[in-house]
Amino acid sequence: MNELVCLDLPLGDHFVAELRRAWDAGDAVFPLDQRLPRAARQALVESVAPTRIVDAHGSSANAGRPVEPGDALVVATSGSTGQPKAAVLTHEAVRASAVAVHARLGVGPGDTWFACLPPAHVGGLSVVTRSIVTGTRLVTAASFSPEAYASAARDGATHVSLVPTALLRVDPGLYRVIVLGGSRPPSPRPSNCIATYGMTETGSGVIYDGIPLDGVETKVVDGIIHLRCPMLMRCYRDGSSTIDNEGWLRTGDMGSLNDDGTLRVDGREGDLIITGGENVWPEPVEAAIDTHPAVTESCVVGVDDPEWGQAVHAFVVVRGDLTLEALREHVKETLPAHCAPKHLHVVETIPRTALGKPMRRALAGSVG
């Protein structure tokens, strides 16, 4: 029986050793998010059904379900648009991802990855797995901090995966390459920072600065991005799949292919705001808002409105005074008037997933 081993451990040497141990035994690994409250952790474990759980106290059996031969990972999706699913990734998919990423980035024998993102999410876990698969040196930290980031650079780390909010707190020049994922990258950004697009189902990023990795095919059908590549999941843990009979994954993200073949990602299907018959994507509005000198960060959502169908609401963290009218005028300097927010909510923080994605549903639901 091929077991599914739940690693109830923080990122670190113990986590990496247990992942290696499971793979050497022919088993698959399910990393459990250490940030989840007890009830959510229990619910996720019941849903994924591992056959064994490894924590700081040791290993114990669990009444779960085995995996198929060749399965390497079971990874929960971010759950930013609802209940998380769990994608099953094979060893072949993991290796294909590692090889393609290293080929694109030019990673060689003298390079070192720094892993500091949560390993329960594919963006953090893939740094660990590609290091193991390719034999690349790895430095880890239990979580991101500017101090750990600088320390790893002094220890020889050359490559790191970060979320955009972390990039704002560090010196990007300490690393040769910074891979950004999870949410909209800053603009402009340092020349050594690469914006990636991918998801749990693709085993991490598969589009780098709009250009597919080797072996990755893209197409857009009815405005929805589809991907086909050797990195794709086998299926979800419950046996369902969003991959068609020809091997194409329907991502649920909307976008388009530019004339030069690069991919432009507009956002999730459900994120599009239709206000007064006009289409508004949140991210360009957020980018405009974030250039206001009084704004620290922002999130834009659509909320049902009897007059407009949906109204554009801006949730903004500020470092001074900001009025709705001033914000609207600022947005209209670079975007059409229908993109300007009709409502302003000043908040202390923007709720985000562990990989920095704004939790738009939670904010939209908070509007009374």
Can you tell me the distance from the alpha carbon of 269 to that of 321, in angstroms, rounded to the nearest whole number?
Answer: 33
**Is residue 264 over pLDDT 80?**
yes
Q: Which residue has the higher pLDDT, 228 or 308?
A: 228
> C-alpha distances in angstroms, 236 versus 15, 50, 77, 224?
23, 14, 10, 20
Q: What is the pLDDT of residue 357?
A: 82
Q: Where are the domains of the chain?
A: 4-265, 272-365
Average pLDDT of the residues in 78-92: 77
Q: What is the average pLDDT value for the chain, to the nearest integer?
A: 93
Q: What is the mean pLDDT of residues 247-264?
A: 94
Residues in a beta bridge with 71: 90
Q: What is the pLDDT of residue 231?
A: 98
Tokens at 257, concatenated? 């292919």
Superfamily for the 4-265 domain: ANL, N-terminal domain (3.40.50.12780)
Q: Give per-residue pLDDT as tens, 130-180.
A: 999 999 999 999 999 999 999 999 999 999 999 888 998 999 999 999 999
pLDDT of residue 81: 42
Indicate the burial class of 317 (C-beta count within 10 angstroms; 0-12, 13-18, 19 or more): middle
CA separation for the pair 344, 322 (Å, rounded): 9
Distance CA 48, CA 237 (A): 7
Give the pLDDT confidence score for residue 79 in this predicted structure: 52
Task: Say which range, 109-113, 128-132, 207-211, 318-322, has the weakest mean pLDDT.
Answer: 318-322
pLDDT of residue 290: 93
Q: Which fold has domain 272-365?
A: GMP Synthetase; Chain A, domain 3 (3.30.300)
Task: Tell me what the mean pLDDT of segment 38-56 comes to.
Answer: 94
Q: Which DSSP category does 11 fall into? A: S
pLDDT at 193: 97
Average pLDDT over residues 227-243: 97
Between 59-63, 208-212, 278-282, 285-289, the lowest mean confidence (pLDDT) is in: 278-282
**pTM for the whole thing?**
0.84
